[in-house]
A and B are shown apart, each in its own frame.
Chain A
Amino acid sequence: MWVLTVMLVVVIVLYLLEALAIRSYTASPKPDSGQLCRTFPAISILKPLKGLEDCLFDNLESFCNLDYPVYEVIFTLQDQNDPAYKVARKIKDKYPDKGISIVIDHCDAGLNPKVNNLIPAYKIAKHGLILISDSNVRVEKDYLADISRHMDDPSVGLVSNIIRGVSGRSFGAVMENLHLNSFVASSVCVLDKYLDMPCVVGKSMLMTKEDLEAIGGFTGVKDFLAEDYIIGQRIHALGKKVILSNHLINNVNEYWGLSRFINRHTRWGKLRWQIGGAKYLSELFTNAVFMAFILLLIMPVSTASVSFLAAVSLLKIAHDMYIGSRLRAGMSPLLYLLSPVKDLIIGFIWFVPIFSSTVNWRGNRYAIGKGSALSPLPDNGLWLLIYRLLKD
């Protein structure tokens, strides 16, 4: 009984630390960018597109209405037949004076399809500041003005943002948003605040061309799955600061299926396992709901073990509700009742990277190695077996 009590105390402390980290980022007032005496350096926004993300039109349009003096938007695709092309075309036609370019180039310089998409866009980027922004991101009008203020400090090399999942209408999308608004947001904040470990999420990355080129440009990360993390690490290694901006950006996930949620977090899990190694184990132990569930399975069912699972689940629901409210995620309070279910699913997904190092990303299959380095994976069957034997 006392073991369970100690575990419960640990869970409470853990949740409190996460909540405090989130609070510290979301409590600080947003500066009024219009009143700051500062320069507004011109920015090139690179938007790699592949397929129809939920609400793609609105997401792209939000980048055409930013309160910022000089910026360009470059939509970049691998294929004119991509359904996102038509949406990009409509946005360009709707905003003919907004400096929008569309690049279509089947670049196959590397194995990371997102980096392959970015390389041609980078070649035509006109400005000294580069912003990489995913297509499932929607931003507010003051986004550029707010994040670019960090670049006034010459010691800053990269600015990334806290993301929040919004607009979930299907079960898979709600799972995704719950996870983004609890585990992902709190992990990024905890790592940055308490451990001084830059953890860059590639949905929004602002940096100078100079720094990007100093770390080898996009070509230097073309064969890594976690190109965002590697860019962050390398810029940090240059002696530059990697800043986590408190400007929240929306990751729109509206109609995801459960399989997409599972596929993404299996891939992200493999990535963290390859990058973090033993640190990945901590994720399992900090998934209190899953641990309580496992205890219930391996221990004789008792009032204590059932109560422990119930208490941990209630704590988790309260924790996620608090974080969601700090992030202003706009989720219905009832949906947080699904948080323990989401944690159970994530708990089972956690084991997959231990046994499998292959990923299927945007239609491509890869083997993922140390530091998230990608290797091409032959098709399944005998070749795959041979490949694995040789690789090991």
Chain B
Amino acid sequence: MLLCDFHIHTTYSDGSVELRKAIDIFGQAGFDAIAITDHVVSGDNSFGKLAHRFKYSVTANNFNQYMSHIKEEAKRAYDKYGMLVIAGVEITKNRLSVNDSAHILIVDVKEFIPACLSYEEIFLEAKSQKALIIACHPHYMSGTGDRDTLFLWNNRGKYARYIDAWEIANRDDVFNVVSLGKYPHIANSDFHKPKHLFSWKTLLNCVNDIDSIKQCIRHNKGVAITLFRN
């Protein structure tokens, strides 16, 4: 089984460790596949404007640099650790109400996707790039300072058909609504700090290449979750 984490932040957005170090933390711990998913924040409201101002967001301006840096580090990680590093982003739509907020992982992204697009436009653009679409922390969290993002869950009837998998567990939270609803699932750390390494993870029973991983998650066969503790 491949030990995986598809939700990792670095100093390209609000993570506390640089890209190279974040990759090393997972490589040193024996991971097989990870995705770097820094925030792309919607700049059409005051939250987003602040995030852009304080450089807590990947933007259209630095997206190419972000991608080439990930590509360079991915090669190093594969050579050194045999670990696959996939480029991704977390489309971040924060609103005043948690019911209107949503975070979406786009894993294996190729081109910049603005977060200010409509949900349909974002999903269709991600599909056209053959990227994975994952709904992040879709339900109530344990209240450790993170704001809940309930929009996608509240509107699952409309949007579930676009979503390849839902986070059934995020860091230390478990969202049993996802399993009760029998939605395809994965589990991630939402890594921002080194201590977040020890959190919920995904185990995949597939070959360690991007296409096999995406197929495994989409079909949701051979997917298990594990609480990774030391």
Contacts and interface: CB of A to CB of B under 8 A. Distances in A.
Contact of B82 (A56, A93, A170, A254): A93
A57 interface: yes
B230 A52 contact: yes
Contacts of A257: 195
Contacts of A89: 30
Contacts of B29: 52, 56-57, 83, 86-87
Interface in B21-67: 24, 27-30
A90 B28 contact: no
A90 B28 CA distance: 10
A255 B195 contact: yes
Interface string B204-228: 0000000000000000000000001
Contacts of A255: 194-195
A84 B28 CA distance: 10
A264 interface: no
A93 B83 CA distance: 13
B81 interface: yes
B3 interface: yes
B77 to A, nearest CB: 11
A55 B24 CA distance: 8
A87 B82 CA distance: 11
A370 interface: no
Interface in A142-193: 169-170
Interface in A219-274: 254-255, 257
Interface residues of B, number: 13
Interface in B169-211: 194-195
Contacts of A254: 194
A51 interface: yes
Contacts of B195: 255, 257
Interface string A80-99: 00011011011001100000
A86 B28 contact: no
A58 interface: yes
B28 A57 contact: yes
B82 A83 contact: no
A9 to B, nearest CB: 44
Interface residues of A, number: 20
A87 B30 contact: yes
A321 B194 CA distance: 28
Interface string A19-61: 0000000000000000000000000000000011011111000
Given A51-B230, A57-B81, A255-B195, A87 B28 contact: yes
Contacts of A93: 82
A90 B79 CA distance: 12
B27 A57 contact: yes
B194 A86 contact: no
B28 A83 contact: no
Contacts of A58: 28
Contacts of B228: 83
Nearest to B3: A86
Nearest to A252: B28
A87 B81 CA distance: 9
Interface in B1-21: 3
Contact of A90 (B24, B81, B194, B229): B81
A20 B179 CA distance: 65
Contacts of B81: 57, 90
Contacts of B27: 57
A261 to B, nearest CB: 15
A55 B228 CA distance: 17
A254 B30 CA distance: 17
A285 B121 CA distance: 71
A169 B16 CA distance: 12
A58 to B, nearest CB: 6
B200 to A, nearest CB: 14
Nearest to A51: B230
A52 B81 CA distance: 15
B74 to A, nearest CB: 17
B230 A86 contact: no
A56 B194 contact: no
A56 B82 CA distance: 15
A54 B198 CA distance: 13
Nearest to A54: B28
B197 to A, nearest CB: 8
B230 A90 contact: no
A86 B30 contact: yes
A347 to B, nearest CB: 28
A94 B194 contact: no
B194 A83 contact: no
Interface in A87-114: 87, 89-90, 93-94
A87 B29 CA distance: 6
Interface in B118-138: none
Given A55-B28, A83-B228, A90 B82 contact: yes
Contacts of B24: 55
Contact of A56 (B3, B28, B229): B28
A330 B123 CA distance: 49
A288 to B, nearest CB: 34
17 contacts: A51-B230, A52-B30, A52-B230, A55-B28, A57-B28, A57-B81, A58-B28, A83-B30, A83-B228, A84-B30, A86-B3, A87-B29, A90-B30, A90-B82, A94-B82, A254-B194, A255-B195
Interface of A: 51-52, 54-58, 83-84, 86-87, 89-90, 93-94, 169-170, 254-255, 257
Given A57-B28, A57-B29, A86-B29, 4 more contacts: A55-B24, A83-B30, A83-B230, A86-B30
